[in-house]
Protein backbone atom coordinates (compact mmCIF):
# COMPACT_ATOMS: atom_id res chain seq x y z
CA UNK A 1 0.00 0.00 0.00
CA UNK A 2 1.36 3.43 -0.96
CA UNK A 3 1.63 5.50 2.24
CA UNK A 4 -0.15 8.90 2.23
CA UNK A 5 -1.22 8.62 -1.40
CA UNK A 6 -3.99 11.03 -2.34
CA UNK A 7 -6.11 9.22 -4.93
CA UNK A 8 -8.30 11.04 -7.44
CA UNK A 9 -11.11 8.61 -6.64
CA UNK A 10 -11.65 6.17 -3.78
CA UNK A 11 -14.16 3.51 -4.81
CA UNK A 12 -16.05 1.87 -1.97
CA UNK A 13 -17.27 -1.50 -3.22
CA UNK A 14 -16.00 -3.71 -6.02
CA UNK A 15 -19.29 -4.92 -7.50
CA UNK A 16 -20.25 -4.16 -11.10
CA UNK A 17 -20.77 -0.45 -10.23
CA UNK A 18 -17.45 0.07 -8.44
CA UNK A 19 -15.46 -2.12 -10.82
CA UNK A 20 -16.83 -0.34 -13.89
CA UNK A 21 -16.08 3.05 -12.30
CA UNK A 22 -12.51 1.84 -11.72
CA UNK A 23 -12.28 0.68 -15.32
CA UNK A 24 -13.53 3.97 -16.76
CA UNK A 25 -11.57 6.06 -14.26
CA UNK A 26 -8.27 4.27 -14.80
CA UNK A 27 -8.62 4.35 -18.57
CA UNK A 28 -9.26 8.10 -18.39
CA UNK A 29 -6.11 8.65 -16.32
CA UNK A 30 -7.58 8.96 -12.82
CA UNK A 31 -5.66 7.39 -9.95
CA UNK A 32 -8.27 5.10 -8.45
CA UNK A 33 -8.34 2.58 -5.63
CA UNK A 34 -11.01 -0.05 -5.03
CA UNK A 35 -11.93 -1.29 -1.55
CA UNK A 36 -14.00 -4.46 -1.52
CA UNK A 37 -15.20 -6.46 1.45
CA UNK A 38 -15.54 -9.91 -0.14
CA UNK A 39 -14.69 -10.56 -3.77
CA UNK A 40 -14.55 -8.48 -6.93
CA UNK A 41 -18.00 -8.70 -8.44
CA UNK A 42 -19.67 -8.38 -5.03
CA UNK A 43 -23.13 -9.87 -4.73
CA UNK A 44 -23.09 -11.25 -8.26
CA UNK A 45 -20.42 -13.77 -7.22
CA UNK A 46 -23.11 -15.52 -5.17
CA UNK A 47 -25.33 -15.94 -8.24
CA UNK A 48 -25.22 -19.20 -10.10
CA UNK A 49 -25.96 -17.72 -13.51
CA UNK A 50 -26.07 -14.19 -14.79
CA UNK A 51 -28.52 -14.64 -17.65
CA UNK A 52 -29.40 -11.11 -18.65
CA UNK A 53 -26.09 -9.41 -19.32
CA UNK A 54 -25.59 -8.65 -23.03
CA UNK A 55 -23.11 -10.73 -25.03
CA UNK A 56 -23.36 -13.86 -22.87
CA UNK A 57 -25.87 -15.94 -24.89
CA UNK A 58 -25.59 -18.90 -22.52
CA UNK A 59 -25.32 -16.79 -19.37
CA UNK A 60 -22.23 -16.77 -17.19
CA UNK A 61 -21.53 -18.02 -13.69
CA UNK A 62 -21.50 -15.12 -11.18
CA UNK A 63 -18.14 -16.01 -9.61
CA UNK A 64 -16.60 -16.32 -13.08
CA UNK A 65 -17.99 -12.89 -13.99
CA UNK A 66 -16.36 -11.49 -10.82
CA UNK A 67 -13.02 -13.06 -11.72
CA UNK A 68 -13.17 -11.53 -15.19
CA UNK A 69 -13.89 -8.11 -13.65
CA UNK A 70 -10.90 -8.52 -11.35
CA UNK A 71 -8.63 -9.56 -14.22
CA UNK A 72 -9.73 -6.52 -16.23
CA UNK A 73 -8.83 -4.19 -13.34
CA UNK A 74 -5.53 -5.99 -12.75
CA UNK A 75 -4.65 -5.51 -16.43
CA UNK A 76 -5.08 -1.78 -15.82
CA UNK A 77 -3.02 -2.02 -12.60
CA UNK A 78 -5.88 -0.71 -10.48
CA UNK A 79 -5.03 -1.24 -6.80
CA UNK A 80 -7.67 -3.42 -5.12
CA UNK A 81 -7.77 -3.83 -1.34
CA UNK A 82 -9.90 -6.41 0.41
CA UNK A 83 -11.19 -5.23 3.76
CA UNK A 84 -14.12 -4.00 5.76
CA UNK A 85 -14.99 -0.29 5.63
CA UNK A 86 -15.01 0.94 9.21
CA UNK A 87 -15.49 4.68 8.87
CA UNK A 88 -15.85 7.06 5.94
CA UNK A 89 -15.21 10.76 6.48
CA UNK A 90 -16.50 12.26 3.27
CA UNK A 91 -17.69 15.79 4.15
CA UNK A 92 -14.33 17.56 3.76
CA UNK A 93 -12.54 18.39 0.51
CA UNK A 94 -10.15 15.52 1.17
CA UNK A 95 -12.13 12.30 1.67
CA UNK A 96 -10.79 9.75 4.10
CA UNK A 97 -11.84 6.13 4.48
CA UNK A 98 -10.72 3.84 7.30
CA UNK A 99 -10.82 0.15 6.52
CA UNK A 100 -9.47 -3.07 7.96
CA UNK A 101 -6.96 -2.93 5.06
CA UNK A 102 -5.69 0.55 5.98
CA UNK A 103 -6.66 4.20 5.56
CA UNK A 104 -7.24 5.78 2.15
CA UNK A 105 -7.54 9.43 1.13
CA UNK A 106 -8.93 10.87 -2.05
CA UNK A 107 -10.16 13.99 -3.79
CA UNK A 108 -13.48 12.27 -4.52
CA UNK A 109 -15.25 9.11 -3.36
CA UNK A 110 -17.76 6.76 -4.94
CA UNK A 111 -20.15 4.81 -2.71
CA UNK A 112 -20.93 1.54 -4.47
CA UNK A 113 -21.37 -0.83 -1.57
CA UNK A 114 -24.68 -2.27 -2.71
CA UNK A 115 -27.24 -3.83 -0.43
CA UNK A 116 -27.61 -6.52 2.21
CA UNK A 117 -30.54 -8.85 2.88
CA UNK A 118 -33.52 -7.79 4.95
CA UNK A 119 -34.27 -10.02 7.90
CA UNK A 120 -37.74 -11.34 8.63
CA UNK A 121 -37.12 -10.52 12.31
CA UNK A 122 -38.84 -13.65 13.59
CA UNK A 123 -38.01 -16.08 16.36
CA UNK A 124 -35.26 -18.54 15.42
CA UNK A 125 -33.98 -16.51 12.46
CA UNK A 126 -30.80 -15.26 14.09
CA UNK A 127 -30.16 -18.20 16.42
CA UNK A 128 -30.41 -20.70 13.52
CA UNK A 129 -28.59 -18.59 10.93
CA UNK A 130 -26.01 -20.84 9.27
CA UNK A 131 -27.77 -23.87 10.73
CA UNK A 132 -30.57 -24.08 8.21
CA UNK A 133 -31.36 -20.38 7.83
CA UNK A 134 -29.65 -18.92 4.77
CA UNK A 135 -29.75 -15.81 2.60
CA UNK A 136 -27.54 -17.27 -0.15
CA UNK A 137 -28.61 -20.28 -2.20
CA UNK A 138 -25.35 -20.42 -4.15
CA UNK A 139 -23.41 -20.65 -0.89
CA UNK A 140 -25.59 -23.19 0.91
CA UNK A 141 -27.72 -25.13 -1.60
CA UNK A 142 -25.46 -28.18 -1.55
CA UNK A 143 -26.29 -28.80 2.14
CA UNK A 144 -29.89 -29.49 1.16
CA UNK A 145 -29.48 -32.24 -1.42
CA UNK A 146 -32.59 -34.45 -1.30
CA UNK A 147 -34.12 -32.34 1.51
CA UNK A 148 -37.29 -30.33 1.98
CA UNK A 149 -36.80 -26.58 2.18
CA UNK A 150 -38.70 -23.30 2.14
CA UNK A 151 -37.94 -20.13 0.20
CA UNK A 152 -39.51 -16.88 1.38
CA UNK A 153 -40.27 -13.95 -0.93
CA UNK A 154 -41.89 -13.15 -4.23
CA UNK A 155 -39.30 -10.96 -5.96
CA UNK A 156 -36.74 -11.81 -8.66
CA UNK A 157 -34.27 -13.14 -6.09
CA UNK A 158 -36.74 -15.58 -4.50
CA UNK A 159 -37.88 -16.86 -7.89
CA UNK A 160 -34.41 -17.14 -9.38
CA UNK A 161 -32.97 -18.89 -6.34
CA UNK A 162 -35.95 -21.26 -6.10
CA UNK A 163 -35.19 -22.37 -9.65
CA UNK A 164 -31.53 -22.89 -8.71
CA UNK A 165 -32.43 -24.78 -5.51
CA UNK A 166 -34.54 -27.33 -7.42
CA UNK A 167 -31.24 -28.86 -8.54
CA UNK A 168 -30.60 -29.86 -4.93
CA UNK A 169 -33.75 -29.99 -2.81
CA UNK A 170 -36.36 -32.68 -3.33
CA UNK A 171 -39.24 -30.42 -2.32
CA UNK A 172 -39.49 -26.63 -2.05
CA UNK A 173 -42.24 -24.59 -0.43
CA UNK A 174 -42.16 -21.13 -1.97
CA UNK A 175 -43.81 -18.90 0.60
CA UNK A 176 -45.15 -15.52 -0.46
CA UNK A 177 -47.17 -13.08 1.63
CA UNK A 178 -49.44 -12.03 -1.24
CA UNK A 179 -51.28 -13.78 -4.08
CA UNK A 180 -49.08 -12.32 -6.83
CA UNK A 181 -45.35 -12.41 -7.37
CA UNK A 182 -43.36 -9.21 -7.68
CA UNK A 183 -40.64 -10.87 -9.81
CA UNK A 184 -40.51 -10.74 -13.60
CA UNK A 185 -42.90 -12.77 -15.72
CA UNK A 186 -40.39 -15.13 -17.28
CA UNK A 187 -39.13 -16.23 -13.85
CA UNK A 188 -42.73 -16.61 -12.65
CA UNK A 189 -43.57 -18.80 -15.65
CA UNK A 190 -40.60 -21.04 -14.91
CA UNK A 191 -41.32 -21.39 -11.18
CA UNK A 192 -45.02 -22.06 -11.70
CA UNK A 193 -44.16 -25.05 -13.88
CA UNK A 194 -41.73 -26.90 -11.60
CA UNK A 195 -43.45 -29.94 -10.02
CA UNK A 196 -41.20 -29.99 -6.94
CA UNK A 197 -42.14 -26.40 -6.05
CA UNK A 198 -45.31 -25.89 -4.02
CA UNK A 199 -46.35 -22.27 -3.79
CA UNK A 200 -47.95 -21.12 -0.56
CA UNK A 201 -49.74 -17.86 -1.37
CA UNK A 202 -50.93 -15.38 1.26
CA UNK A 203 -48.59 -17.01 3.73
CA UNK A 204 -46.09 -15.63 6.22
CA UNK A 205 -43.54 -17.37 8.41
CA UNK A 206 -43.90 -16.51 12.10
CA UNK A 207 -41.24 -18.75 13.66
CA UNK A 208 -38.29 -20.90 12.63
CA UNK A 209 -37.95 -24.00 14.79
CA UNK A 210 -35.11 -26.28 15.74
CA UNK A 211 -32.59 -26.91 18.50
CA UNK A 212 -29.23 -27.04 16.76
CA UNK A 213 -30.57 -26.93 13.24
CA UNK A 214 -33.79 -26.02 11.51
CA UNK A 215 -36.46 -28.73 11.59
CA UNK A 216 -39.59 -26.76 10.88
CA UNK A 217 -41.41 -23.45 10.62
CA UNK A 218 -44.65 -22.02 11.88
CA UNK A 219 -46.63 -20.38 9.09
CA UNK A 220 -49.78 -18.32 8.93
CA UNK A 221 -51.79 -19.04 5.79
CA UNK A 222 -54.98 -17.10 5.12
CA UNK A 223 -55.06 -16.24 8.83
CA UNK A 224 -54.60 -19.83 10.06
CA UNK A 225 -51.48 -21.10 11.90
CA UNK A 226 -49.83 -24.29 10.71
CA UNK A 227 -46.54 -26.13 11.28
CA UNK A 228 -44.43 -27.25 8.36
CA UNK A 229 -41.53 -29.73 8.62
CA UNK A 230 -38.53 -28.46 6.66
CA UNK A 231 -34.74 -28.85 6.78
CA UNK A 232 -33.82 -25.35 5.73
CA UNK A 233 -35.13 -21.94 4.83
CA UNK A 234 -33.81 -19.41 2.32
CA UNK A 235 -34.97 -15.84 2.93
CA UNK A 236 -35.30 -13.34 0.08
CA UNK A 237 -37.37 -10.56 1.64
CA UNK A 238 -35.73 -7.73 -0.28
CA UNK A 239 -32.57 -5.84 0.50
CA UNK A 240 -31.48 -2.69 2.31
CA UNK A 241 -28.58 -0.31 1.61
CA UNK A 242 -25.21 -1.51 2.87
CA UNK A 243 -24.28 1.81 4.44
CA UNK A 244 -23.66 1.44 8.18
CA UNK A 245 -20.30 3.20 7.74
CA UNK A 246 -22.14 6.33 6.53
CA UNK A 247 -24.06 6.67 9.79
CA UNK A 248 -22.72 10.14 10.56
CA UNK A 249 -22.78 11.52 7.02
CA UNK A 250 -25.49 14.05 6.21
CA UNK A 251 -26.38 12.76 2.73
CA UNK A 252 -29.75 12.87 0.97
CA UNK A 253 -31.47 9.47 0.95
CA UNK A 254 -35.01 8.25 0.31
CA UNK A 255 -37.16 6.93 3.15
CA UNK A 256 -35.58 3.45 2.80
CA UNK A 257 -32.03 4.80 3.00
CA UNK A 258 -31.15 4.55 -0.70
CA UNK A 259 -28.87 7.42 -1.75
CA UNK A 260 -30.37 10.07 -4.02
CA UNK A 261 -28.13 11.15 -6.89
CA UNK A 262 -28.20 13.41 -9.91
CA UNK A 263 -28.06 11.88 -13.39
CA UNK A 264 -24.25 12.22 -13.08
CA UNK A 265 -24.33 10.10 -9.88
CA UNK A 266 -23.49 13.12 -7.70
CA UNK A 267 -24.86 12.91 -4.18
CA UNK A 268 -25.81 15.88 -2.00
CA UNK A 269 -22.24 15.84 -0.58
CA UNK A 270 -19.73 17.64 -2.86
CA UNK A 271 -17.18 15.25 -4.36
CA UNK A 272 -19.15 12.18 -3.26
CA UNK A 273 -20.84 9.96 -5.85
CA UNK A 274 -23.05 6.88 -5.54
CA UNK A 275 -23.63 4.09 -8.04
CA UNK A 276 -25.39 0.75 -8.31
CA UNK A 277 -27.89 -0.85 -5.97
CA UNK A 278 -27.26 1.58 -3.10
CA UNK A 279 -28.66 4.39 -5.20
CA UNK A 280 -32.33 5.32 -5.38
CA UNK A 281 -33.04 3.90 -8.82
CA UNK A 282 -35.74 2.36 -10.97
CA UNK A 283 -33.86 -0.83 -11.86
CA UNK A 284 -31.24 -2.78 -9.90
CA UNK A 285 -29.36 -5.01 -12.30
CA UNK A 286 -25.72 -5.71 -13.13
CA UNK A 287 -26.06 -3.72 -16.33
CA UNK A 288 -27.55 -0.66 -14.62
CA UNK A 289 -24.94 -0.80 -11.84
CA UNK A 290 -22.17 -0.95 -14.44
CA UNK A 291 -23.71 1.98 -16.32
CA UNK A 292 -23.92 4.00 -13.08
CA UNK A 293 -20.24 3.29 -12.42
CA UNK A 294 -19.24 4.42 -15.90
CA UNK A 295 -21.22 7.65 -15.51
CA UNK A 296 -19.83 8.34 -12.03
CA UNK A 297 -16.20 7.90 -13.12
CA UNK A 298 -16.77 10.10 -16.16
CA UNK A 299 -18.32 12.78 -13.96
CA UNK A 300 -15.24 12.63 -11.70
CA UNK A 301 -12.97 12.97 -14.74
CA UNK A 302 -14.98 16.02 -15.79
CA UNK A 303 -14.75 17.50 -12.30
CA UNK A 304 -11.01 16.96 -11.77
CA UNK A 305 -9.56 17.40 -15.26
CA UNK A 306 -9.86 20.44 -17.45
CA UNK A 307 -9.50 19.70 -21.11
P1 LIG B 1 -37.66 -7.31 -3.94
O2 LIG B 1 -37.86 -7.19 -5.42
O3 LIG B 1 -37.78 -6.11 -3.08
O4 LIG B 1 -38.67 -8.43 -3.43
C5 LIG B 1 -38.72 -8.75 -2.07
C6 LIG B 1 -39.83 -9.76 -1.87
O7 LIG B 1 -39.86 -10.11 -0.50
C8 LIG B 1 -41.21 -9.20 -2.24
O9 LIG B 1 -41.95 -10.18 -2.92
C10 LIG B 1 -41.82 -8.88 -0.89
O11 LIG B 1 -43.21 -9.06 -0.84
C12 LIG B 1 -41.16 -9.91 0.02
N13 LIG B 1 -41.02 -9.42 1.38
C14 LIG B 1 -40.47 -8.25 1.81
N15 LIG B 1 -40.50 -8.17 3.15
C16 LIG B 1 -41.08 -9.31 3.58
C17 LIG B 1 -41.41 -9.81 4.87
N18 LIG B 1 -41.11 -9.14 5.99
N19 LIG B 1 -42.01 -11.01 4.94
C20 LIG B 1 -42.30 -11.71 3.82
N21 LIG B 1 -42.01 -11.30 2.57
C22 LIG B 1 -41.40 -10.10 2.47
O23 LIG B 1 -36.21 -7.92 -3.58
P24 LIG B 1 -35.26 -8.97 -4.36
O25 LIG B 1 -36.03 -10.07 -4.95
O26 LIG B 1 -34.16 -9.27 -3.40
O27 LIG B 1 -34.66 -8.08 -5.53
C28 LIG B 1 -33.95 -6.89 -5.21
C29 LIG B 1 -33.58 -6.18 -6.51
O30 LIG B 1 -32.63 -6.97 -7.24
C31 LIG B 1 -34.79 -5.99 -7.41
O32 LIG B 1 -34.66 -4.75 -8.06
C33 LIG B 1 -34.66 -7.12 -8.40
O34 LIG B 1 -35.25 -6.84 -9.66
C35 LIG B 1 -33.14 -7.29 -8.53
N36 LIG B 1 -32.82 -8.69 -8.87
C37 LIG B 1 -32.88 -9.04 -10.17
C38 LIG B 1 -32.61 -10.33 -10.54
C39 LIG B 1 -32.69 -10.71 -12.00
O40 LIG B 1 -32.98 -9.85 -12.82
N41 LIG B 1 -32.47 -11.95 -12.37
C42 LIG B 1 -32.31 -11.31 -9.58
C43 LIG B 1 -32.28 -10.92 -8.23
C44 LIG B 1 -32.56 -9.61 -7.90
P45 LIG B 1 -44.21 -8.07 -1.64
O46 LIG B 1 -44.11 -8.47 -3.07
O47 LIG B 1 -45.52 -8.35 -1.03
O48 LIG B 1 -43.71 -6.68 -1.36
Which is the closest atom of ligand 1 to the Cα of 204? 20
The 10s digit of each residue's pLDDT in 279-288 is 999 999 999 9
Name 251's Cβ contacts closer than 8 Å, sequence gap at least 6: 90, 259, 267, 268, 269, 272
Is the same domain home to 127 and 194? Answer: yes
Is the same domain home to 263 and 230? Answer: no
* CATH code, 192: 3.50.50.60
Q: Which domain holds residue 191?
A: 119-235
Does residue 262 sit in helix, strand or coil?
coil
Half-sphere exposure of 195 (CA within 13 A, CB side): 1
The Å distance, Cα 236 to ligand 1 centre, comes to 6
In a domain, 301, yes or no: yes
The 10s digit of each residue's pLDDT in 101-129 is 999 999 999 999 999 999 999 999 999 99
Is the same domain home to 194 and 90? Answer: no
- Of all residues in the chain, what percent carry a pLDDT higher than 90? 93
The stretches of the chain forming alpha helices (DSSP H) are 16-27, 62-75, 137-140, 156-165, 185-192, 286-304
Ligand 1 neighbourhood includes 44 CB (under 6 angstroms): no
Using the predicted structure, report yes or no on whether residue 19 has a pLDDT greater than 90.
yes
Is the same domain home to 203 and 129? Answer: yes
What pTM did the predictor assign? 0.87
Ligand 1 neighbourhood includes 156 CB (under 6 angstroms): yes
**Which residue owns the Cα nearest ligand 1 atom 33?**
156
Neighbours of 87 (CB within 10 A): 13
Q: CA nearest 258: which of 146, 112, 128? A: 112
Residue 51's pLDDT is 86
- b/e map 109-141, b = 16+ CB within 10 Å: bbbbbbbebeebebebbeebeebbbbbebbebb
- Asked whether 257 and 115 are in contact (CB, 8 A), the reply is no
The Å distance, Cα 237 to ligand 1 centre, comes to 6
Q: How far apart are CA 82 and CA 13, in angstroms?
A: 10
Amino acid sequence: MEENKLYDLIILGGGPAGATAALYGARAGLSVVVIEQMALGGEICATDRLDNFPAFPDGINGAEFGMLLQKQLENLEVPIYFGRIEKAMLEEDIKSVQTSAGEFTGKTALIATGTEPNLLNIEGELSLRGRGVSYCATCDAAFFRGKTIAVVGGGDAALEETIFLTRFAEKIYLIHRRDKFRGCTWLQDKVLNIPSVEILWNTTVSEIKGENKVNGIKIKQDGKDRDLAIDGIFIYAGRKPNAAFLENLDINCDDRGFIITSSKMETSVPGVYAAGDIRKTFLRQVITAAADGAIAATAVVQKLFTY
